[in-house]
């Protein structure tokens, strides 16, 4: 039995944060029912490229779920959803504050129908505060939480992050964490609750070191100038002779000494505390003397926390990930199969077999006519 077997989730969310959160719940055994608008469904169905009839992005994030298509603004929509609300354990929504209330589907209304319901609202800035109703995206959240300023490019300007940290680390993961805590609390109290998950709020744990340095020592970090943001030769990216890159992270002294030996760094530059910039430049010159493959051979078998920067395609073929089996589950559509999105649910909690498709829009509208459990 999977840990969330028997848990029913109504998912009103779209795009990334909410759908990824409910994917994690589904992978752990929950029944997830997407509530979508008729005709088009949620926005991500229309994205390119396609996998089956819809976007592969939609397919990856909505594997193993169900779909009910209903116009939430139409007369009688709430009444049609009452059977599902009565049988639901969790609701996830991602509208701006107040939208679900205006639709008659806010927490107070749903809790009046089902006091055990756990209602999780994921927004950029939360349900309160001066920016609660402001439109924004991931880049805005990381900018306003101070994170974007910590990583600078060669010209000193902030670099657009490669990952949607706010959507995933600030939205989806905290949502799942708090839903699980709320389910545990409901076991004891018999009542549900409302969860206010604000993506911008949840970015500050990623900056624990910057907060600590600033608050305790008054040493607020400079863009690209700190230990783990590009200011140290011990935590940096270096270009090889064949225009590839080495990710070097020999932070601890034993790793640093091994690294210096491996790259042949001059003895007078190994005390990087004296002139970090000079040591960093010297390391860069040494790395540029060999190709990535040559450095990989030099580093093999040595404790020095270094590796070659790989593309996503190369990472998929990496023997480490293959040995772990993280791409073993399959996503199917239209007679095709590709690896499912790996999610941080351990194999012990996931269904055996691991092959599933994604829902066609409105494929499960018959659920609106089922009796409540």
Residues 15, 135, single domain; the answer is: yes
The mean predicted confidence, pLDDT, of the chain is 95
Residues 41, 147, single domain; the answer is: yes
Judged by average pLDDT, the poorest of 39-43, 153-157, 221-225, 296-300 is 153-157
- Quick one: pLDDT at residue 172? 98
Residues 298, 337, single domain; the answer is: no
**If you average pLDDT over residues 161-173, what whole number do you get?**
97
Residues 89, 158, single domain; the answer is: yes
- Four-residue CA torsion sign, 316, 321, 325, 329: negative
- Quick one: pLDDT at residue 343? 95
Residues 134, 280, single domain; the answer is: no
Q: Give 370 or 369, the one with higher predicted confidence.
A: 369
Output DSSP code: residue 371: P
Residues 181, 300, single domain; the answer is: no
What whole-number distance in Å separates Cα of residue 197 and Cα of residue 203?
11
pLDDT tens digits along 245-262: 999 999 999 999 999 999
Give yes or no for residue 358 having a pLDDT over 80. yes
Nearest to 252 by CA among 307, 305, 308: 305
- Cα 274 to its chain centre, rounded Å, is 39
Residues 193, 337, single domain; the answer is: yes
Residue 353 lies inside a defined structural domain of this protein: yes
Residues 283, 362, single domain; the answer is: no
Q: Which residues are catalytic?
A: 137, 167
Percentage of the chain beyond pLDDT 90 is 92
pLDDT tens digits along 268-316: 999 999 999 999 999 999 999 999 999 999 999 999 999 999 999 999 9
Residue 228 lies inside a defined structural domain of this protein: no
pLDDT tens digits along 9-25: 999 999 999 999 999 99
Distance spanning both ends of the chain, measured CA to CA: 19
Residue 370: band (very low, low, confident or very high) from pLDDT cuts 50, 70, 90: confident
Residues 183, 55, single domain; the answer is: yes
Residue 355 lies inside a defined structural domain of this protein: yes
**If you average pLDDT over residues 213-241, what whole number do you get?**
92
Number of independent structural domains in the chain: 2
Residues 302, 336, single domain; the answer is: no
Nearest to 18 by CA among 42, 51, 46, 47: 42
> 112-116: long-range contacts at Cβ-Cβ below 8 A with a sequence spacing of 24 or more?
113/82, 113/85, 113/86, 114/85, 114/86, 114/88, 114/192, 115/190, 115/191, 115/192, 116/89, 116/186, 116/190, 116/191, 116/192
| Contact criterion met (CB below 8 Å) for 183 and 7 | yes
Nearest to 22 by CA among 6, 35, 11: 11
Predicted TM-score (pTM) of this structure:
0.94
**If you average pLDDT over residues 158-179, what whole number do you get?**
96
Q: Which domain holds residue 300?
A: 236-316
Beta bridge partners of 122: 197
Residue 227: band (very low, low, confident or very high) from pLDDT cuts 50, 70, 90: confident
The CATH number linked to 309 is: 3.30.1540.10
Residues 244, 114, single domain; the answer is: no
Residues 49, 156, single domain; the answer is: yes
Residue 94 lies inside a defined structural domain of this protein: yes
């Amino acid at each position: 039995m999977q840990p969330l077997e028997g848990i029913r989730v109504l998912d009103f969310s779209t795009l990334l944060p909410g759908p990824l959160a409910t994917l994690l719940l589904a992978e752990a055994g929950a029944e997830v029912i997407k509530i979508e608008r008729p005709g088009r469904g949620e926005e991500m169905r229309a994205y390119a490229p396609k996998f089956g009839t819809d976007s592969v992005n939609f397919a990856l994030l909505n594997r193993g779920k169900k779909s009910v298509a209903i116009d939430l603004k139409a007369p009688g929509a709430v009444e049609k959803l009452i059977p599902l609300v009565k049988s639901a354990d969790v609701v996830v929504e991602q509208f701006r504050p107040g939208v679900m209330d205006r639709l008659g589907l806010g927490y107070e209304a749903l809790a009046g129908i089902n006091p055990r319901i756990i209602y999780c609202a994921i927004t950029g800035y939360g349900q309160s505060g001066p920016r609660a109703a402001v439109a924004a995206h991931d880049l805005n959240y990381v900018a306003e939480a101070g994170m974007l300023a910590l990583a600078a490019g060669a010209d000193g300007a902030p670099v657009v992050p490669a990952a949607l940290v706010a959507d995933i680390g600030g939205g989806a993961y905290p949502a799942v964490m708090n839903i699980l805590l709320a389910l545990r609390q409901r076991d004891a109290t018999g009542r549900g609750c409302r969860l206010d998950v604000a993506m911008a709020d949840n970015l500050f744990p990623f900056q624990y070191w910057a907060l600590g340095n600033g608050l305790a020592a008054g040493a607020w970090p400079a863009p690209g100038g700190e230990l783990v943001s590009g200011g140290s030769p011990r935590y940096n990216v270096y270009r090889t002779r064949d225009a590839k890159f080495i990710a070097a992270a020999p932070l601890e002294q034993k790793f640093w000494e091994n690294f210096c030996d491996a790259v042949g760094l001059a003895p007078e530059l190994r005390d990087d505390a004296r002139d970090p910039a000079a040591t960093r430049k010297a390391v860069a010159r040494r790395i540029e003397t060999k190709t990535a493959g040559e450095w990989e051979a030099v580093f093999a078998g040595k404790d020095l926390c270094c590796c070659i920067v790989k593309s996503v395609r190369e990472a998929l073929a990496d023997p480490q990930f293959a040995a772990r089996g993280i791409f073993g589950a399959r996503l199917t559509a239209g007679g095709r199969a590709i690896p499912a999105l790996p999610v941080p649910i351990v194999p012990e909690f996931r269904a055996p077999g691991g092959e599933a498709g994604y829902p066609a829009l409105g494929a499960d509208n018959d659920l609106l006519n089922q009796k409540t459990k």
